[in-house]
Structure 1
């Protein structure tokens, strides 16, 4: 090994000596050549000496440009290469399109939407060139006339810019002053500026070689920052004037071009007077270049700057909770593909329909305003966070405050000193809080006051989707995105109450039962073992009454009789229920305990609604579909969803469970019959559904189904301890169901959405062996006594539905 090292070391020394000898020979020849040229130079007449010196300087300058561009000996740092120039990297906003072709919003860090040269007003082009680079069409990237003029002004103590539009494009697009000046010389103060300027020149020359003048102007206007979060001319025209780049006139163009000198100093928002003065200077430039007459200029100067200003934020537009969730939903795909939805200029086509989204938001807003008034009245003069004994929960507000970022900053600032922290938490200051009438209102609150105020509000979410395709058509994540950004469709998980009975009854049907099989409404005590300890559970019905009546499964499901659901769960086992919940679409882990049969384990609204969709889709499961496709900036499809569908339960069983859902509308006293309040029954459309309410009314649910569209709503407090005290006010049929009714009322009325009308099929595709054609009939009360529900339960009959018995269908 040592011998091998010696051999290689000898070869290395030999190579070094050869290189050194070569350099010495070449250096001697160069010195000899230079002496010869020098003696020749001394013999020249004076004017030829000047010409010779000038040519020498030009050659040396070209050599200097070359060695800087190639980063000779790593002295100057990397310069933009040909690949960077031919494929410039710039941050472009991604645009989200709805299924009906509307722009829903954007994702961006820099709000930039590229345009073509043909989409830019010629008046803007003239204004830009007249002000920023009057010899633009004559130079090749560097305007030496402007450079010499700038040097002359520097000798007189004046400041003047000499950068061409192409050089400014280089600074905007390639960031040569901070991304590339990393060579050894780049760390020398003053020298780094010279090097970065040199790189601007060399890159500008390359751009002029590879692009036309029109291309350069287009790229410049697409990349330049106009301030106010407006990157590029498309966004700037929209932000300042609510117009398109093609429609900009001279005075608007002059205002925007005037901003390029200093976006803050000449902002028409912050400094309207300065902006006006700068605009008029730009207009005078148009006169100087003979583009407009002095008369036209004077007329334009008299016109005030007429702004239509609106800054577009990343979360402006519609379906804000959906878009925030979509960002998280696509995170894994971005990590795998390398795309960035905030900078790669993608076109994201989503399944949301803009009209249905509007109807959903209106339905949530209208119903929640009504509920909120009831809630305020219900708790008037009291705090809604109370325990079972109607006492305020101790430290409720304090515990929430401790979870805030403000509390964390105070803890660090005062080293966890409680008195200091409490002082600032209770110190009033100006802030904005949510308000239904104004959207937001200015007020003076302490942090503790604001927590109390905001927790007097109830919240809601709603999602609608097509059962056959899984396409999500509407998504409302809460009552307001600005103040509550946590999405309550897919992210939040709460107790689903009786809506979970879908899975209990599915397990029963899958184990051979039918909708017409009968069970008795009776008290049930379920003995079980939890963590080695024997326990018992005795649930009650919503009205706390057990009638002792025998009823069909269809009737028990429609009336949401707890005792029957618990008997079924005890008969077939909680594991069996969990099995079918997961098969139908529940992805959240479920707690294996008896109370699961009544919906005690948290799940999300999205997975619940999708599970109902599996039943309506004849037992075939699919993931919820949020996106139809994603295209890159060149129009190539880079993402398509997985539309695989899997049969998870047989057709017959799905048909029978669908009959249970339909029983919510046909069975006497069924909770879904509250839908009759809305004008949705004249569009040849069948309905079914299931309400749900958690045990203390913290969570109210409703999932409504039709043949072609399903929708689910949740209503509750931000915290579970904030809720109505009675079922009369807080149950799902009173709070969540109306949202579905209001939504469907508008969807079915809309002729452009008539594809969502339709009845459930009356004839199955396959032979159904179990009986499902039964209908509960309640005999009229002919006595004078009170016909309460409990009394009526004793006079119900189950009538099989046959072709001869039409009157009871």
Structure 2
């Protein structure tokens, strides 16, 4: 018996030894497995530096001067936020739903892991927030069907999670996690998600909004509130239940929020939508050049789509919004009239062009289109491509009431789009050069040509102040000096012209003896031509160069009437010089650039240049004030008295009472309408016209700058004045303390202030044949 017991004991000892050997071997295998995994045998593991600086694509932010993010450059629309910028209930929702013991464990939740093992993962709960962050940052999806791969990936997650817990605080891990998750709809991270789904920053999220976003984490597409509101609501209610279960909200709060319907404010963020689209695209080109010229310390190039730069611009988001609203309000109205006037025009939208000329324009547009480019790259023949432009297809087209689904041929869509009035508008501070608003067109998605800096158009009478300024500099003239307005012919050969030049006033009317202030207010062509005759084209061109105009300007006397193409950008900067006491300030749109950690990489400095004396610049301002007092810009002053009421196209009465210096401009055939207006601390220029100069209004009533462009300026300024935080000036322009030029003329509306010719004497004065007193009396009011 004793022998049997000994044998049994030996057997038990043998099996115990085998068990402990197997157990020890299992533990050694587990340890070895984790060691091998940590050494990167089963796949690359993050280094210490990578843990310190996790690699993720971070969007570059474009920030307005009033602190608003007006756009981003990105591959993934992600903007990091700090823990302190997250509301407590958002963090509570995450912890309650994804990792109840987050603040207790060190990266791995033992209870959750054991539950997942014994229930074969059916109850969930195995992945902690730290593990999910590890997967998001360094590992990717663990959804492989291969059980061995899944085990290896899970082990790697555990190792990285523990390392993350050692490297970062719990709060930092929460923030990192929220910054890495993908909420779909181009929303990477909680900052973008809050903006896109609710149009607010994370700190402003309500409890139910936070629950919606946290609920999306399990399956962002499945629980998307935009596409699957019912599923999103059910998932939100589970999150709210978990928050109540963990004591983060009361049962009453849970019931209240669970009963509320799903509400979102979907605000997509794309390169073709949002505020300042044309400006953002111009800025993108600028940044592409900037990163090449300003490399990192290690010599590599900054990536504007991944490196999370912060570009601080001079744009004011409020003024930008007002400018875009002004364009929309006026042009959507004026466009109706344009369509009405094109009815019955078999060659619409072109006026006074032959069929062959209009076909040439359309064919050129076809060849410049994306369709032509893509089909050429596909190896299609020219005949095949042209034929495709005549095949009807479904497309989305622009209208002022929103995009419209329709069926038309690509060729017809080209003709349709050429009907639309376009615009370029820029607003800047004369003293700083800071650009405050930039509208390059009516809709960037459908019309990507920028009419502020990219497109130069004929400027018409807005060029005339440059001629007057040259005359004041060269001849010592003043706004109050008189000149005889009569028919004038510049002979052949003068300044190299091949034919005699006889400019005419609008309507063919001549006013006799007038002072310069009245002549510019009425935009008298003959007076401007006479001034050009005295100073010569070269002197005028030299001055415009000093004023920052970069366009090629022909040395022809006809430039006096605006037969030259200049950008809105250059025109506004040039006019700003008059308001800035003769000092030109180069326009600037970037004030500072920092990296994602806030280190300043670049700060801009103002570039200035003295162009003319304070006296002359102030004299030009007084001339331009005359335009808005009783010239083509006088409708800015109109109050609606006398029963004339509200004009349906121009939108006045505007009833401005403060000093405004400005000038309208209208080119031949009404193809371009301009207005540039200034108050002491803001200069704004507006151009309106069709893409092709052959498309335009038939009559000057609608095609002039006072009708096409001036109302946009007026609507914009009225909005700016209603916003007291902008501090737009209503004061007089600064008058030089020791002004030597006579500007106090035109009392009582008189056209004539004195009988001098601004220092021009002798034969020149005699050749102008001063009028008799009866003529002066006839034209004096």
TM-score (norm 1): 0.77
Instruction: Find out whether 1:211 has 2:183 as its counterpart.
Output: no
Equivalent residue number for residue 524 of structure 1? 489
Residue ranges of structure 1 left out of the alignment (5+ in a row): 1-41, 69-74, 179-188, 780-790, 800-806
Farther off after superposition, 586-595 or 116-125: 116-125
Q: Distance in 1 between matches of 2:266 and 2:365?
A: 35
Q: Deviations for 1:423-450, whole angstroms, at most 9, x for unmatched residues? A: 53233333332223x2333333222222
Q: Distance in 1 between matches of 2:111 and 2:582?
A: 77
Q: Distance in 2 between matches of 1:687 and 1:454?
A: 35
Q: Distance in 2 between matches of 1:749 and 1:293?
A: 43
The alpha-carbon deviation at position 302 of structure 1 amounts to 7.0
Instruction: Find out whether 1:671 has 2:636 as its counterpart.
Output: no
User: Which entry has the higher C-alpha Rg, 1 or 2?
Assistant: 1
Equivalent residue number for residue 55 of structure 2? 89
Pick from 405, 423, 428 the counterpart of residue 370 of structure 2: 405
Equivalent residue number for residue 420 of structure 2? 457
Cα 1:795–1:732, aligned 2, differ >3 Å: closer, same or farther? farther
Instruction: Indicate if the aligned counterparts of 1:708 and 1:758 stay in contact, CA closer than 8 A.
Output: no
Instruction: Indicate if the aligned counterparts of 1:284 and 1:297 stay in contact, CA closer than 8 A.
Output: no
Instruction: Find out whether 1:600 has 2:563 as its counterpart.
Output: yes
The alpha-carbon deviation at position 794 of structure 1 amounts to 8.3
Q: Distance in 1 between matches of 2:210 and 2:436?
A: 41
Secondary structure of 1:270's counterpart equals coil
Equivalent residue number for residue 17 of structure 1? none
Equivalent residue number for residue 730 of structure 1? 703
Cα 1:628–1:744, aligned 2, differ >3 Å: closer, same or farther? same
Instruction: Find out whether 1:687 has 2:651 as its counterpart.
Output: no
Equivalent residue number for residue 646 of structure 2? none
Q: Distance in 1 between matches of 2:706 and 2:513?
A: 25
Equivalent residue number for residue 766 of structure 2? none
Residues 539-688 of structure 1: pairs in structure 2 closer than 5 A: 539-543=502-506, 545=508, 547=510, 549-665=512-628, 670-677=631-638, 685-688=658-661
Instruction: Indicate if the aligned counterparts of 1:385 and 1:393 stay in contact, CA closer than 8 A.
Output: no
Q: Distance in 2 between matches of 1:745 and 1:249?
A: 35
Instruction: Find out whether 1:141 has 2:104 as its counterpart.
Output: no
Q: Distance in 2 between matches of 1:464 and 1:543?
A: 29
Q: Distance in 2 between matches of 1:599 and 1:242?
A: 45
Secondary structure of 1:690's counterpart equals strand
Instruction: Indicate if the aligned counterparts of 1:112 and 1:231 stay in contact, CA closer than 8 A.
Output: yes
Instruction: Indicate if the aligned counterparts of 2:38 and 2:45 stay in contact, CA closer than 8 A.
Output: no
Q: Deviations for 1:492-531, whole angstroms, at most 9, x for unmatched residues? A: 211111211222222222213303163553332454599x
Equivalent residue number for residue 18 of structure 2? 46
Residues 14-413 of structure 1: pairs in structure 2 closer than 5 A: 45-68=17-40, 79-120=45-86, 124-129=90-95, 131-133=97-99, 136-137=102-103, 139-142=105-108, 163-174=127-138, 200-240=157-197, 245=202, 255-272=212-229, 274-275=231-232, 303=259, 306-315=262-271, 316-335=273-292, 336=294, 339-340=302-303, 342-382=305-345, 383-386=347-350, 388=352, 393-413=358-378
Instruction: Indicate if the aligned counterparts of 1:680 and 1:748 stay in contact, CA closer than 8 A.
Output: no
Equivalent residue number for residue 16 of structure 1? none
Q: Distance in 1 between matches of 2:547 and 2:624?
A: 15
Secondary structure of 1:483's counterpart equals coil
Q: Deviations for 1:609-666, whole angstroms, at most 9, x for unmatched residues? A: 1101111211101112324444544444443322232212233332333333233245
Residues 415-564 of structure 1: pairs in structure 2 closer than 5 A: 415-416=380-381, 418=383, 420-436=384-400, 438-515=401-478, 516=481, 518=483, 521-525=486-490, 527=492, 535-536=498-499, 538-543=501-506, 545=508, 547=510, 549-564=512-527
Instruction: Find out whether 1:796 has 2:768 as its counterpart.
Output: no
Q: Distance in 2 between matches of 1:749 and 1:260?
A: 43
The alpha-carbon deviation at position 608 of structure 1 amounts to 0.1
Cα 1:513–1:77, aligned 2, differ >3 Å: closer, same or farther? farther
The alpha-carbon deviation at position 341 of structure 1 amounts to 5.1
The alpha-carbon deviation at position 239 of structure 1 amounts to 4.0
Secondary structure of 2:135's counterpart equals helix
Q: Distance in 1 between matches of 2:676 and 2:708?
A: 12
Secondary structure of 2:565's counterpart equals coil
The alpha-carbon deviation at position 489 of structure 1 amounts to 1.9
The alpha-carbon deviation at position 454 of structure 1 amounts to 2.0
Instruction: Indicate if the aligned counterparts of 1:176 and 1:199 stay in contact, CA closer than 8 A.
Output: no
Instruction: Indicate if the aligned counterparts of 2:430 and 2:585 stay in contact, CA closer than 8 A.
Output: no
Cα 1:714–1:300, aligned 2, differ >3 Å: closer, same or farther? closer
Instruction: Indicate if the aligned counterparts of 2:461 and 2:562 stay in contact, CA closer than 8 A.
Output: yes
Q: Distance in 1 between matches of 2:111 and 2:321?
A: 59
Instruction: Indicate if the aligned counterparts of 1:574 and 1:593 stay in contact, CA closer than 8 A.
Output: yes
The alpha-carbon deviation at position 683 of structure 1 amounts to 6.9
Instruction: Indicate if the aligned counterparts of 2:490 and 2:533 stay in contact, CA closer than 8 A.
Output: no
The alpha-carbon deviation at position 66 of structure 1 amounts to 4.6
The alpha-carbon deviation at position 475 of structure 1 amounts to 2.8
Q: Distance in 1 between matches of 2:224 and 2:722?
A: 48
Secondary structure of 1:671's counterpart equals coil
The alpha-carbon deviation at position 727 of structure 1 amounts to 2.6
The alpha-carbon deviation at position 716 of structure 1 amounts to 0.4
Cα 1:52–1:581, aligned 2, differ >3 Å: closer, same or farther? same
Q: Deviations for 1:340-362, whole angstroms, at most 9, x for unmatched residues? A: 55544455444334444444334
Cα 1:237–1:558, aligned 2, differ >3 Å: closer, same or farther? closer
Q: Deviations for 1:166-185, whole angstroms, at most 9, x for unmatched residues? A: 2321232245689xxxxxxx
Farther off after superposition, 294-303 or 584-593: 294-303
Instruction: Find out whether 1:698 has 2:671 as its counterpart.
Output: yes
Instruction: Indicate if the aligned counterparts of 2:99 and 2:125 stay in contact, CA closer than 8 A.
Output: no
The alpha-carbon deviation at position 462 of structure 1 amounts to 2.4
Instruction: Indicate if the aligned counterparts of 1:121 and 1:247 stay in contact, CA closer than 8 A.
Output: yes
The alpha-carbon deviation at position 128 of structure 1 amounts to 3.6
Cα 1:539–1:608, aligned 2, differ >3 Å: closer, same or farther? farther
Cα 1:135–1:696, aligned 2, differ >3 Å: closer, same or farther? same
Secondary structure of 1:536's counterpart equals coil
Instruction: Indicate if the aligned counterparts of 1:680 and 1:745 stay in contact, CA closer than 8 A.
Output: no
Instruction: Indicate if the aligned counterparts of 1:549 and 1:794 stay in contact, CA closer than 8 A.
Output: no
Secondary structure of 2:508's counterpart equals coil
Instruction: Indicate if the aligned counterparts of 1:107 and 1:314 stay in contact, CA closer than 8 A.
Output: no
The alpha-carbon deviation at position 208 of structure 1 amounts to 1.4
Cα 1:425–1:414, aligned 2, differ >3 Å: closer, same or farther? farther
Q: Distance in 1 between matches of 2:727 and 2:211?
A: 50
Q: Distance in 1 between matches of 2:195 and 2:723?
A: 31
Cα 1:793–1:363, aligned 2, differ >3 Å: closer, same or farther? farther
Q: Distance in 1 between matches of 2:118 and 2:692?
A: 71
Matched length: 723
Farther off after superposition, 637-646 or 686-695: 637-646
